[in-house]
A = this chain, B = another copy of it.
Amino acid sequence: MKASQFLISTLKEAPTDAEVVSHKLMMRAGMIKKLGAGIYNYMPMGLRVIRKVEAIVREEMNRAGAVELTMPLIQPAELWQETGRFDKMGPELLRIKDRHERDYVVQPTSEEVVTDIARQEIKSYKQLPKNLYQIQTKFRDERRPRFGLMRGREFIMKDAYSFDRDQVSAKASYQVMAKAYRRIFDRFGLTYRAVAADSGAIGGDLSEEFQVIAATGEDAIVYCPTSDYAANMEKAEALAPVAPRASAQAAMEKVATPGKSTCEDVAALLGVALNTTVKSLVLATDEKDEHGVVKKTQVWLLLLRGDHDMNEVKVGKLPGLAEFRFATVGEIEEHFGCKPGYLGPIGLKQPLKIVADRDVTVMADWICGANEEGFHIRGVNWGRDLPEPDMVADLRNVVEGDASPDGKGVLAIERGIEVGHVFYLGTKYSKAMNATFLDVNGKPQFMEMGCYGIGITRLPAAAIEQNHDDKGIIWPDALAPFTVVLCPINPDRFPDVKAAADKLYEELLSAGVDVILDDRNERPGAMFADWELIGVPHRVNIGDRGLKEGVVEYQHRRESAATSVPVAEIASLLLGRLKA
């Protein structure tokens, strides 16, 4: 490609609504152009990156035996009503009406349509397993789209769906995808982790997120540096402490803590460590009749160490707490006789259920609220001052230094951007849509399903969050819009420069290199700044002075200076680097 034939439009300044670095750099490098909130034109430079992502994903999906099809963007509501998602999903699901006032949705994913295809096409166990995928535009009407391609409304996703005859086979299909995803992310040239994720109501361990590591990532990733354990924060288990409960040393006493309503403030006031305090969180669950009217409400007191945070996913999995909510101030005052800020498990007005985090149960001489405004109690001890809790469980987010659940070290935490997800679905959709096949005995069975996504347009943004500097983007070779840029210096003044650049361009083109020749006659400074912003990994500067000595300059985007290379060797140097 010659730059003059292409559309290159870099900007000095990013628009003010661009908050994250990938959004700023994609806008400045002219890769995307905003058309509306969360809706972007994929400009020629950006589309080249997206197409490279697509090509790698397609190649590896095919290699893994998946079959590509395309499901419509605009889908009749009927199938979505069959699974109940037409009504259950929030306004993220864009619902539209056609000229005949019939209901449609713009696809956010395609479980319904693919299950409809499977129930029509797959009659016998002999046709299983099957994995059907598409690389297709999606729309989610996010309330607050932002961060460019990171959280857009219109985006491209690869979504695959596996169909199997039983759980054993479904798990094998899941593993095939998990392995293909590793190949895909390896090929992208990004640093990533496959982390165990919560698999929701279905249970089991068959849910992994693929997270591109970046300091700016939205998600916290938990991992063990001395083993291969990795999970997201929702999933990572805080093991029960190994040490037994210490014995009581102090007497229980009420202390005045006026205006100190947080564990941090109380610990500071009393001059003790935060991990000697216990925080009280009050939840409620409602038992409803068939009309949805609340018959009975149960209030729960959760006790966590002052330096720990509650993990809502873990709490939601405890018996009786699946549909918990936070208690109202009224409910709190009724049970504690006190406003929030000074609550504790001692001296309750009304009975409630107490759930203690595992770490709280081994504490001795701890501090909690006195159920009286402006007062706490210290020297509290289990058994002596209050009965053992009704339930003990893992209620909290892990923290750095916690023991790794695999027993092979301690946990560390880093940030990541989720770009892929593999998920075992079970029979959720096949049951809802009666998608059956005839098994070896001729009996109808529900298909076992899995679903597997990759955010095709999100991936370039994640790659940039991981790979950039103050000059711009630094693409890995596999994702670069062009892998090599040739920068002739003043070719209009020096015919030898133009000739040498043209010759190298043709040579690289015929060797299959994705090369761009900058023939725009820009000044060198502006030209170099453009390509550093755009992030092409390999650059060759061709100048008259160098040519007189038989050399050109080579510079990798990660290097701070250029290296002189004999003209005769530059092509083979580039080809060698691109192959590596």
Query: In the complex, are the beta carbons of B73 and A137 less than 8 A apart?
Result: yes
CB within 8 Å for A40 and B7 given contacts A33-B117, A137-B137: no
Query: In the complex, are the beta carbons of A44 and B69 less than 8 A apart?
Result: yes
Q: A residues 44-85 with Cβ under 8 Å of B?
A: 44, 47, 50, 65, 67-76
Residue numbers in B under 8 Å from A386 (CB-CB)? none
Query: In the complex, are the beta carbons of A47 and B70 less than 8 A apart?
Result: yes
Please measure, in the bound complex, the distance between the C-alpha atom of A44 and the C-alpha atom of B68, giving whole angstroms: 6
Residue numbers in B under 8 Å from A96 (CB-CB)? 94, 96
Say yes or no: is A99 at the interface (Cβ < 8 Å to chain B): yes
Please measure, in the bound complex, the distance between the C-alpha atom of A419 and the C-alpha atom of B67, giving whole angstroms: 28
CB within 8 Å for A141 and B98 given contacts A5-B65, A154-B72: yes
Query: In the complex, are the beta carbons of B35 and A75 less than 8 A apart?
Result: yes
Query: In the complex, are the beta carbons of A72 and B39 less than 8 A apart?
Result: yes
Residue of B6, B35, B74, B76 touching A72 (CB-CB under 8 A): B35
Please measure, in the bound complex, the distance between the C-alpha atom of A471 and the C-alpha atom of B496, giving whole angstroms: 63
Query: In the complex, are the beta carbons of B143 and A74 less than 8 A apart?
Result: no
The quantity of this chain's copies bound in the complex is: 2
Say yes or no: is A132 at the interface (Cβ < 8 Å to chain B): yes
CB-CB nearest in chain B for A152 = B72
Please measure, in the bound complex, the distance between the C-alpha atom of A378 and the C-alpha atom of B414, giving whole angstroms: 97
Residue numbers in B under 8 Å from A76 (CB-CB)? 35-36, 39
Distance from A107 Cβ to chain B, minimum over Cβ atoms (Å) = 11
Residue numbers in B under 8 Å from A41 (CB-CB)? 69-72, 113, 117
Please measure, in the bound complex, the distance between the C-alpha atom of A70 and the C-alpha atom of B75, giving whole angstroms: 22
Query: In the complex, are the beta carbons of B70 and A42 less than 8 A apart?
Result: yes
Say yes or no: is A221 at the interface (Cβ < 8 Å to chain B): no
Say yes or no: is A328 at the interface (Cβ < 8 Å to chain B): no
CB-CB nearest in chain B for A5 = B65
Query: In the complex, are the beta carbons of B143 and A99 less than 8 A apart?
Result: yes
Query: In the complex, are the beta carbons of A67 and B7 less than 8 A apart?
Result: yes
Residue numbers in B under 8 Å from A36 (CB-CB)? 72, 75-76, 104
Residue numbers in B under 8 Å from A73 (CB-CB)? 73, 137, 139, 154
Residue numbers in B under 8 Å from A527 (CB-CB)? none
CB within 8 Å for A44 and B67 given contacts A7-B121, A7-B130: yes
Please measure, in the bound complex, the distance between the C-alpha atom of A94 and the C-alpha atom of B99, giving whole angstroms: 8
Say yes or no: is A157 at the interface (Cβ < 8 Å to chain B): no
Say yes or no: is A43 at the interface (Cβ < 8 Å to chain B): yes
Distance from A62 Cβ to chain B, minimum over Cβ atoms (Å) = 9
Please measure, in the bound complex, the distance between the C-alpha atom of A293 and the C-alpha atom of B76, giving whole angstroms: 42
Query: In the complex, are the beta carbons of B7 and A74 less than 8 A apart?
Result: no
Distance from A523 Cβ to chain B, minimum over Cβ atoms (Å) = 15
Residue numbers in B under 8 Å from A191 (CB-CB)? none
CB-CB nearest in chain B for A66 = B5
Residue numbers in B under 8 Å from A40 (CB-CB)? 72
Distance from A568 Cβ to chain B, minimum over Cβ atoms (Å) = 31
CB-CB nearest in chain B for A120 = B33
Residue numbers in B under 8 Å from A44 (CB-CB)? 67-69, 132
Residue numbers in B under 8 Å from A9 (CB-CB)? 121
Say yes or no: is A189 at the interface (Cβ < 8 Å to chain B): no
Q: Chain A, 455-491, contact with B by CB distance < 8 Å: what is the 0/1 string?
A: 0000000000000000000000000000000000000
Say yes or no: is A170 at the interface (Cβ < 8 Å to chain B): no
Distance from A426 Cβ to chain B, minimum over Cβ atoms (Å) = 22
CB-CB nearest in chain B for A142 = B99
CB-CB nearest in chain B for A62 = B1
Say yes or no: is A106 at the interface (Cβ < 8 Å to chain B): yes
Distance from A535 Cβ to chain B, minimum over Cβ atoms (Å) = 18
Query: In the complex, are the beta carbons of A99 and B106 less than 8 A apart?
Result: no
Query: In the complex, are the beta carbons of B71 and A35 less than 8 A apart?
Result: yes
Say yes or no: is A351 at the interface (Cβ < 8 Å to chain B): no
Q: Chain A, 113-132, contact with B by CB distance < 8 Å: what is the 0/1 string?
A: 10011001100000000101
Query: In the complex, are the beta carbons of A35 and B143 less than 8 A apart?
Result: no
With a 10 A CB-CB cut-off, give which of A5, A6, A91, A98 has the most chain B CB atoms.
Answer: A98
A interface residues with partner B (beta carbon < 8 Å): 5-7, 9, 33, 35-36, 39-44, 47, 50, 65, 67-76, 91, 94, 96, 98-99, 104, 106, 113, 116-117, 120-121, 130, 132, 137, 139, 141, 143, 153-154
Q: 16 A–B contact pairs at CB < 8 A?
A: A7-B132, A33-B117, A36-B104, A39-B75, A39-B76, A41-B70, A41-B71, A44-B132, A73-B73, A73-B137, A73-B139, A73-B154, A74-B139, A94-B96, A98-B153, A137-B137
Which 5 residue pairs across A and B have the least CB separation, nearest first? A36-B76, A91-B99, A42-B70, A96-B96, A44-B67
Q: Contacts A36-B104, A43-B69, A73-B137 given; 12 further ones with Cβ under 8 A?
A: A5-B67, A6-B67, A7-B69, A7-B130, A33-B120, A35-B72, A35-B113, A40-B72, A44-B67, A47-B70, A74-B106, A91-B99
